[in-house]
Amino acid sequence: MTYALANVDGRAALVQGDLYYDLETVSGGALGPDPMLALAQPQRLAALTEKLGEHASAGRLSEAKLGPPVPRPRNSFAIGLNYQAHAAEGSMDVPDKPLVFTKFPSCLVGPRADVELRSEHVDYEGELVVVIGPGGKDIPEAGAWHHVVGLMVGQDISDRRVQFAAKPPHFDLGKSFDTFGPTGPVMVAPSAVDPSQLRIVTKINNEVRQDGTTDQLIFSIPTLIAYLSRVTTLAPGDLIFTGTPEGIGAPKGQFLADGDVITTSIEGIGTLVNRCVRITDHGVC
């Protein structure tokens, strides 16, 4: 069962190669244009994907205006220090339990959106993002993958000054400025890739800064789903940013600057390309 779902100018679209197909059109109106409703129907997405050859494509993905594949999750979780080498580079202890924070859903933007810098201390974190399909409470680890509808590339953009302005640090705030959550370019079915062996590469202006694989995750995706669902009922479309490998900018003072281009790739899923634009200071700290 496989599919790739995109958000083309607010409308759900199925993707094959570089071509996209409007979901409402190819489903004969059975499925509407809202990506949030589409992702609750993975079996239908897979069935329609098998028959895309019978339809005319609506255009090329590379030329489309793309929004975040999951534009309005109810919750958007993120995990800090989930790669050993990343914890070490920040001189942080590896947590005994997942370090959970939220990226406010209002920070989400599409795969080619500009990232707005409001200080000189903004950093990048390339990550694999999990999308919850069927929701649930107290999900056992063994069955956790049945609750995943898709995988995306994500950037957990972080203003380090704001993140560590309070003690203990308030991760949420520093990582939730508007535009701090590029995701996409598509949401692929988990069966389309091997989620335990995905290579995540982040480049700044074509210089490789991060190059890690998901086999280095300290807390696996099933562990995270089981852990979170003990506390909160997971809902269709909820996101989990699963943590970033080593190579962030802060330890070397290599923060993002006006005009920098962040390129984040996960093999089998796709690439985000986000340009940094320096705007007014936030004045938070």
Residues near Zn ion, by CB under 5 A: 125, 156, 244
Nearer to Zn ion, 19 or 100 (CB): 100
Min CB(226)–Zn ion separation in Å: 20
Nearer to Zn ion, 48 or 200 (CB): 200
Distance separating alpha carbons of residues 146 and 27, to the nearest angstrom: 24
Alpha carbon distance, N-terminus to C-terminus of the chain = 48
Min CB(138)–Zn ion separation in Å: 26
Distance separating alpha carbons of residues 116 and 93, to the nearest angstrom: 31
Nearer to Zn ion, 42 or 243 (CB): 243
- Whose CA is closest to 66, among 278, 281, 250, 274? 274
Question: By Cβ distance, which residue is nearest to Zn ion?
Answer: 156
For residue 125 the two structure tokens come to 């974190």
Min CB(171)–Zn ion separation in Å: 9
The count of other CB atoms within 10 Å of the CB of residue 65 is 11
Min CB(69)–Zn ion separation in Å: 19
DSSP-based three-state secondary structure for 223: helix
Min CB(172)–Zn ion separation in Å: 12
Distance separating alpha carbons of residues 55 and 60, to the nearest angstrom: 14
Nearer to Zn ion, 3 or 171 (CB): 171
For residue 99 the two structure tokens come to 């370090």
DSSP state of 41: -
For residue 182 the two structure tokens come to 């590029």
DSSP-based three-state secondary structure for 194: coil
Nearer to Zn ion, 112 or 160 (CB): 160
Nearer to Zn ion, 45 or 250 (CB): 250
Min CB(204)–Zn ion separation in Å: 16
